[in-house]
Structure 1
Amino acid sequence: MSGILDTVNLRTQMVGQNRLELLLFGLETSQRYGINVFKVREVLQCPDLTEVPRQTSSIKGMAHIRGETIPVLDLSEAIGRAPIPHEDQAKCFLIVAEYNRRTLAFMVRKVDRILNTQWDQIMAPPKEIGNENYLTAVFEYEKKLVEILDVEQILADLYPMSTDVSDEVATHDVRERAREHHVLIVDDSAVARNQMQRSLEDLGVKVSVANNGRQALEMLHELLDRQVDVEKLFLMVISDIEMPEMDGYTLTSMIREDTRMAKLHVVLHTSLSGGFNVSMVKKVGADGFLAKFNPNDLAGVVVNRIRQVESAQ
């Protein structure tokens, strides 16, 4: 366990090679779960928590960690499982992570190990289970399925966020011009796709969606094979970075390597924080980076791109 706690912040060297490392953990059952190590700030034994008056039931309180006060979420209760009993909290662990510019600590029963794998080994959940769940991907390990939770969906249910674009960003003139443009959104999280789609449709642009990098690449290749000029069809591609089957870095590299769409404008977005993302964006040839999700920031990137295209005509 000490090795996991000591090295969780040091293992980022494989990002950008369609590879990832997953921190495996457990909740109130024998089911294993995984979280991308690069989203984890640190793992620690659960300290004494400060209660919050009238708090959401799955928020168990606040922890003071390295000079910062961080809300603690019982991840088991948040996904509809049995909550961790109060008397057991001291035996639990906190996974401190950053999502969408928000720092939270997820209380879990145990932290297992760090597993080195590839995004193409991570599978989207079967369509037959429907969309009303907190599952974003699965993969097989030791002949059992490990589940990767859709943390964006969990947080969206806890902290609902408006997808409306302000009139200051989307003026009447901007909305009229936006109707002439088409954006491709790529994200494995259903809630993230829906948030972005609603915001961009509020702006006025047409939107197509893909669930991961491989699906987006197949979509682009199908259009190219039909002699469609995708560089003209799409104003831009806005892609998540961390996705099953093919990550956003690899998708961008594949786009740049195909002369038929090498100039397609690509912006990568992520719930991860830090300057490493910006350097990787430049390395793979993406045109921009966006920390998700803020409707005005998202719309602003699209509006700026519209202006670039119009000024070049």
Structure 2
Amino acid sequence: MRQEEERNQTNHVRYVQIVVFRLGDEEYALNIDQIKEVVITPSITRVPQKPSFIKGVANIRGNIIAMLDLEEKFGLRKTIDEHAGNNFTLVIDSAEYKMGVLVKEVPNTLSIAESSIEEITLAGDSGIEQSYIKGIVKLEKRLIIMIDIFKVLSQYEEQQVFKKQTALV
């Protein structure tokens, strides 16, 4: 009876697919549901008077989207060379947001057990809770910071960037 219960518990392991990418020296991940596609970064048109981590806008498949540099937003060591041709963009497309997240290397997809994500709550330098960090994924010798891309921007930044997407154009 005990073995059957253990088998049933093992069969109920929930898996999540994540997209893993590198920012600075660390690995970060987004739930695959938050990403529409991954493309080679097109040319970016700078837009004046936007936060410095908004690199401008780009035309991806006919959609004009804001291009975010999370390394700059998070204050990490810079690894993205804006002038190199092999950077990639994670395209985020939801009812509220249409944006691209710049990454240097081709991201990879992993299927992980939900139980391998350890929830944490961190406060930033200003004491503001960093609710965009959903947890840390523990895989063997790797620690991957799981983020919620929809919580990365503050309300003020959202207003600056996403006023119905027309404010950028």
TM-score in terms of structure 1 length? 0.41
For residues 46 and 160 of structure 1, do their structure 2 counterparts lie closer, same or farther at Cα, with a shift above 3 Å needed?
A: same
Alignment of 1:58-77 (within 5 A): 58-77=53-72
CA contact (8 A) 2:30 2:149 kept: no
Residue number in structure 2 paired with 1:155: 153
CA drift at 1:132:
3.5
CA contact (8 A) 2:20 2:30 kept: yes
CA drift at 1:28:
2.1
User: How many Å separate the matches in 2 of 1:99 and 1:120?
Assistant: 27
Structure 2: stretches of 5+ with no match in the other structure: 1-12, 161-169
CA drift at 1:75:
1.3
CA contact (8 A) 2:17 2:112 kept: yes
Residue 92 (structure 2) pairs with residue 92 (structure 1): no
SS in structure 1 at match of 2:21: strand
Residue number in structure 2 paired with 1:113: 108
SS in structure 1 at match of 2:43: coil
CA drift at 1:118:
2.4
Higher helix proportion, which one?
A: 1
> Which one of the candidate residues 20, 32, 51 is aligned to 1:24?
20
CA drift at 1:19:
2.3
SS in structure 2 at match of 1:159: helix
SS in structure 1 at match of 2:44: coil
CA contact (8 A) 1:75 1:107 kept: yes
CA drift at 1:68:
0.7
Residue by residue, what CA displacement relative to the aligned partner does 1:69-88 show, whole Å, maximum 9, x if unpaired?
Answer: 11100011111213434324
Write the letter of the residue equivalent to 2:58: A
CA contact (8 A) 1:95 1:105 kept: yes
SS in structure 1 at match of 2:37: strand
User: How many Å separate the matches in 2 of 1:98 and 1:120?
Assistant: 27
Residue 24 (structure 2) pairs with residue 50 (structure 1): no
User: How many Å separate the matches in 2 of 1:112 and 1:64?
Assistant: 21
Residue number in structure 2 paired with 1:33: 28
CA contact (8 A) 1:79 1:154 kept: no
Residue by residue, what CA displacement relative to the aligned partner does 1:47-81 show, whole Å, maximum 9, x if unpaired?
Answer: 11111122210011111011111110001111121
Number of positions where the alignment pairs a residue of Structure 1 with one of Structure 2: 141
CA contact (8 A) 1:22 1:116 kept: yes
CA contact (8 A) 1:27 1:110 kept: no
User: How many Å separate the matches in 2 of 1:80 and 1:153?
Assistant: 17
CA drift at 1:95:
0.1
CA contact (8 A) 2:30 2:148 kept: no
For residues 143 and 100 of structure 1, do their structure 2 counterparts lie closer, same or farther at Cα, with a shift above 3 Å needed?
A: farther
User: How many Å separate the matches in 2 of 1:32 and 1:43?
Assistant: 17
CA drift at 1:100:
5.6
For residues 51 and 160 of structure 1, do their structure 2 counterparts lie closer, same or farther at Cα, with a shift above 3 Å needed?
A: closer
SS in structure 1 at match of 2:76: coil
User: How many Å separate the matches in 2 of 1:28 and 1:151?
Assistant: 17
Write the letter of the residue equivalent to 1:20: V
CA drift at 1:99:
4.8
CA contact (8 A) 1:23 1:111 kept: no
CA drift at 1:160:
5.0
Residue 104 (structure 2) pairs with residue 104 (structure 1): no
